[in-house]
């Protein structure tokens, strides 16, 4: 019966065939050998059919990739690797012409070497500076996402161009072009640049970050450590992660960023570059990494679905329109921490540690007396009131504890409540302490402009 234990592939003759054969024998009994010849023919045809079917099935199952144990697995593995490799090459080739290096230029002090804070004699080599000249103080990445009216528009990070007096863009072919900042937003860490679009043919295609899945392969393209046109590959570790950030880089977390977590290598200079899927579509803007000893494979990208509404607003207005309360604040928790540090520095026996005393300084000894009730530990202190808050009568050292009926314990919570639940023109009730007395102010939220 051979390989397959099945009547379809066997050389047996069915009952119907046997019956037909008997009738033939009876009708043509004068033809000797007819039955024997017929059986041989049937057996031959059945055997041939069985062999052909076996070969076809073997090819379908094993892919014709060799004979012997393990040949099927090797064939499938090789096919899968080739497919992924080809998709990676095609995806990167599709986007790479649209990826650029973004150079932040600022005027540096006389003789200051950029990046390390050391002093060198002006004109003493490559690092020597001429007073008043603009120098590269930072390099990041960006991606061209739109070509219109002879202009090319680039997405990058806010922190890449922060403080820039001028911005240059280096194309993938090494050509440098002047660029101008269309708009920038510190909260979301996004910015848009504009440059001459002459001879630029490629704009990256925007994808959908909402379609990403954990373990999906992605690529980061950018300018890590100044090494332009570099690619790194990894997987999506988590499609939605919330990480705290310090907008003023003072160590105080005053915002939370929604990001895609990846294990792709994200290094200094990758910021602002695209994170792409295997179809060559931009699904994120590389933004940050965890840079601590012993931490590896923790990179973050701004989801493109979150980024595009911000980009559209920057293109239209140059800033992101948000409701504006009109207060600059510091957390009450910080006030208590500084006050405790001041008391510890002073010491109960008058013996002040030199280091602690130097650290506290005169500024900490000038902390205002807020005269808060003993049960009040959370809130934000008003450092300055402007716009609608000033018009409503709020002043320096007022301590905000509620917005509407929502308790507020930090600047982060204040921003979150405003930006996530309120709109321009909405009324808001602010509850605050002034000289130990609880007060309220009711006013309308204004629009936060670019200058504010």
Does residue 431 sit in the same domain as residue 335?
A: yes
Does residue 221 sit in the same domain as residue 270?
A: yes
Where residue 391 sits, what CATH number does that domain have?
Answer: 2.30.42.10
Domain encompassing residue 25:
7-62
Q: What is the pLDDT of residues 389-448, one digit of tens each?
A: 999 999 999 999 999 999 999 999 999 999 999 999 999 999 999 999 999 999 999 997
Identify whether 255 is part of a domain: yes
CB-based contact 437:446 (threshold 8 Å): no
Where residue 300 sits, what CATH number does that domain have?
Answer: 2.40.10.10
Identify whether 69 is part of a domain: no
Q: Residue 76: which pLDDT band, with cuts at 50, 70 and 90?
A: very low
Q: What is the pLDDT of residues 101-160, one digit of tens each?
A: 999 999 977 655 454 443 333 343 444 555 567 888 889 999 999 999 999 999 999 999
Report the pLDDT value the prediction gives residue 431, as an integer from 0 to 100: 97
Report the pLDDT value the prediction gives residue 18, as an integer from 0 to 100: 41
CB-based contact 243:254 (threshold 8 Å): no
Q: Which of the following is catalytic: 50, 101, 189, 398? A: 189
Q: What is the pLDDT of residues 279-330, one digit of tens each?
A: 999 999 999 766 555 666 688 999 999 999 999 999 999 999 999 999 999 9
**Residue 271 catalytic?**
yes
Enumerate the H helices of 260-331 as residue ranges: 304-317
What kind and span of H or E run contains 35? helix 34-62
| Residue 233, CB-side half-sphere exposure with 13 Å CA sphere | 12
Identify whether 123 is part of a domain: no
Does residue 187 sit in the same domain as residue 213?
A: no
DSSP 420: H
Q: What is the pLDDT of residues 37-70, one digit of tens each?
A: 455 455 555 555 555 555 555 545 444 444 444 4
Distance CA 419, CA 447 (A): 11
Q: What is the pLDDT of residues 197-252, one digit of tens each?
A: 999 999 999 999 999 999 999 999 998 877 777 899 999 999 999 988 888 777 77
Q: Which of the following is catalytic: 50, 141, 159, 230? A: 159
Does residue 304 sit in the same domain as residue 279?
A: yes
**Residue 189 catalytic?**
yes
Identify whether 332 is part of a domain: yes
Write the DSSP assignment of 79-125 as a string of letters: HHHHHHHHHHHHHHHHHGGGEEEEEEEEE--TTBPTTT--B--TTSS
CA-based radius of gyration for the chain: 36
**Residue 159 catalytic?**
yes
Does residue 57 sit in the same domain as residue 20?
A: yes
pTM of the predicted structure, to 2 decimals: 0.71
Does residue 310 sit in the same domain as residue 332?
A: no
Q: Which of the following is catalytic: 141, 271, 313, 410? A: 271
Distance CA 189, CA 391 (A): 30
């Amino acid at each position: 019966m051979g390989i397959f234990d099945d009547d379809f592939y066997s050389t047996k003759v069915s009952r119907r065939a046997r019956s037909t054969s008997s009738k033939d024998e009876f009708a043509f009994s004068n033809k000797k050998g007819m039955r024997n010849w017929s059986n041989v023919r049937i057996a031959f045809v059945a055997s041939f059919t069985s062999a052909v079917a076996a070969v076809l099935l073997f090819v379908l199952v094993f892919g014709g990739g060799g004979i012997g144990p393990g040949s099927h697995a090797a064939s499938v593995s090789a096919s899968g690797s080739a497919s992924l490799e080809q998709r990676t090459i095609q995806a990167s080739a599709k986007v790479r012409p649209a990826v650029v290096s973004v150079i932040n230029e600022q005027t540096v002090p006389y003789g200051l070497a950029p990046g390390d804070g050391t002093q060198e004699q002006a004109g003493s080599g490559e690092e020597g500076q001429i007073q008043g000249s603009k120098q590269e103080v930072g390099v990041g990445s960006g991606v061209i996402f739109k070509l219109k009216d002879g202009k090319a528009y680039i997405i990058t990070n806010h922190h890449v161009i922060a403080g820039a007096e001028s911005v240059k863009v280096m194309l993938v072919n090494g050509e440098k072009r002047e660029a101008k900042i269309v708009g920038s937003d510190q909260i979301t860490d996004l910015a848009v640049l504009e440059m001459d679009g002459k001879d630029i043919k490629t704009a990256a295609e925007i994808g959908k970050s909402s379609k990403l899945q954990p373990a999906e392969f992605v690529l980061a393209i950018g300018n890590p450590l100044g090494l332009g046109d570099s690619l790194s590959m990894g997987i999506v570790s988590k499609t939605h992660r919330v990480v705290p950030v310090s907008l003023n880089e003072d160590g105080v977390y005053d915002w939370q960023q929604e990001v895609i977590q990846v294990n792709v290598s994200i290094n200094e200079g990758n910021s602002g570059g695209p994170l792409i899927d295997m179809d060559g579509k931009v699904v994120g803007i590389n933004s940050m990494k965890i840079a601590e000893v012993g931490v590896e494979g923790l990179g973050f990208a701004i989801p493109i679905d979150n980024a595009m509404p911000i980009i559209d607003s920057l293109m239209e207005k140059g800033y992101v329109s948000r409701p504006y309360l009109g207060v600059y604040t510091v957390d009450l928790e910080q006030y208590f921490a500084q006050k405790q540090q001041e008391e510890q520095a002073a010491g109960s026996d008058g013996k002040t540690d030199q280091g602690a005393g130097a650290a506290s300084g005169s500024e900490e000894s000038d902390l205002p007396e807020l005269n808060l009730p003993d049960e009040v530990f959370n809130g934000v202190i008003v450092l300055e009131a402007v716009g609608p808050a000033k018009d409503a009568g709020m002043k320096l050292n007022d301590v905000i504890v509620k917005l509407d009926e929502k308790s507020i314990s930090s600047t982060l919570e204040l921003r979150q409540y405003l930006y996530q639940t309120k709109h321009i023109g909405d009324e808001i009730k602010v509850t605050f302490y002034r000289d130990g007395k609880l007060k309220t102010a009711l006013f309308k939220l204004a629009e936060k402009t670019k200058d504010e």
